[in-house]
Structure 1
Amino acid sequence: MRRAPAAAFLLLALLAAAEASGPEGGEQACDKGWERSGSRLCCKRNITDFFKARHFEELFPRRNDTIAHAAGFWDYPAFIAAAALFEPRGFGTTGGKEMGVREVAAFLAHVGASTSCGRFYPNPMAWGLCYKREMSPYQNFYCDDSNELYRCVEGLQYYGRGGEALFLNYNYGIIGKGIKQDLLSHPELLQQNATLAFEAAIWRWMTPVKWRQPSAHDAFVGNWKPSKNDPLSKRYPGFGTTMNIMRGDRICGQGFTDEMNNTISHYIYYLGLMGVNHEHSGRSLDCADQVVFNPSSKSLGS
């Protein structure tokens, strides 16, 4: 008889939970606006909790300037729509708020550095998202005829497009498969649709090039546990290794090159605009002495 109050309390709790779940007993959908309307995932922390439209404008204030080559293309809703697809996988939602801020800043630093025309103008950090495509592509450089899985489509060019300047036919094929878009047949989509351009870049950030290699996301947030060989190759968790994964030997393993320093500068600058002191930028910022995971001839991405 003494167990009756406890049983009654449990029954009331279950009834309350069932009522909150709705008439069909499923999980109650919550509505947090256009980012995750009607999804139970919106009840968890989202990037929009700490990264607002004003932050996007502060990071990319000159993107719609009259002399910007992609004026009117990139915007905050496109980034958030793409990012929301990867939030369940941990993009911007791994760890606490500061880690989320740092990861968004790190990812956008890659994008900002890749799409900047700032070297021509004052305040170079303000010119990210100036481009959406390579302006002077080499005509015969972007088709790798040796790749039989993702053959070039006759008449199409696979020069740099999108947020990470994706180029070469096999990269369009691999990433297109990842985001369920036929980029091999329609590479122009990355310069026509800003959401797809961001989605392709985030997929690249979240996906390892090869099995047993880390993604840039895992290397940055600390999910990656280096093997005993990684320290010998000067590879450690942090922003530096994200450059190794995303850019390979174009900027890593060659000392302190201008391009590597520029990417780091974007990261530190964006962190400051988002309210994080550079002292909290994390360890291992550079990849100057790192052995690259994948030589350029086998590298995925930009």
Structure 2
Amino acid sequence: MGRRWVALALAAAMTMGGAAAANEAPAPGSNPIIRDKFTADPAPLVVGDKLFLYVGHDEAQRDEMFNMREWLVYSTTDMKTWTAHPPIMKVTDFKWAKKDAWASQAIQKNGKFYFYAAVEHDSTHPGKAIGVAVSDKPTGPFVDARGSALITNEMTPKGTHSWEDIDPTVFTDDDGTTWIAWGNRQAYIAKLKPNMIEIDGPITEITPPHFEEGPWLHKRGGLYYLTYASLDRSTQRDEHVSYATAPSIQGPWTYRGLLTGSGKYSFTIHPGIVAFKGDWYIFLHNADLAIGDQSGAIGRRAVTVERLRYNPDGTMQPVVQTKAGVSAPAN
């Protein structure tokens, strides 16, 4: 009997140990990085020694595809612990918009923070549109800077559908000029006036191969990068991430191929790239998160992050999406 009780005790201990291991908190910096809400379309911004991450808030219930009513922001100083801040803005704060707090990006300029976001315009300008809001702080609150849309569907008449004017990315070049790019199926770029709330000059189409949505502009050294959600409809079911490079923000753009595969369980993916404290990072999203009885889905996504590395010629090394994320030691 003694040996049998010892064996049972050992078995119980092993079972309890396994349960404890399964329930223990994930390592700081592992993916997904936000676990109490469904978040999507990450857009990083570095201010001093902090990185601020702007995201959309997925609130889809049951079989809903998307239900997004507000934008959130989180901050970190070490890429492993994240501080939640109050919602920075609701879609209803754009009085001319009726729904869909879709992808966004914030940028600092002229001592203020400007926030560009995709929404659904009301019936006065049907289709998707891009608004701009402003704040004195990166954590907001942000207020509509114009009282009207910066970009509407009528401004891109060659587009093939009403939701092409989404997913803004903003970038300030070395000469102080700020550019905005955006699009779905068609990719566009335009210069912003110094006031940051008006387009300055023509809108140019720059659609690279397999472009789907979610463009992101950045620069490293003398090379400009246009990274985006791509979809080769002949071979792929879900979006991947591809990129192109150019010697100037105005091109010509050279297609460089795939950067990442698709996000786990997710049709969409959305890159956001930034340098922070000596390292480069790429933020993405997948649908590999469950909260309570809600599992990940097309309308319930989760933001992730991975380290980003470059080759000597400036091309980016392929990124493998992992659960460890930046909790794993850097190579």
**TM over 0.5, yes or no?**
no
**TM, length-normalised to structure 2:** 0.26
**TM, length-normalised to structure 1:** 0.27
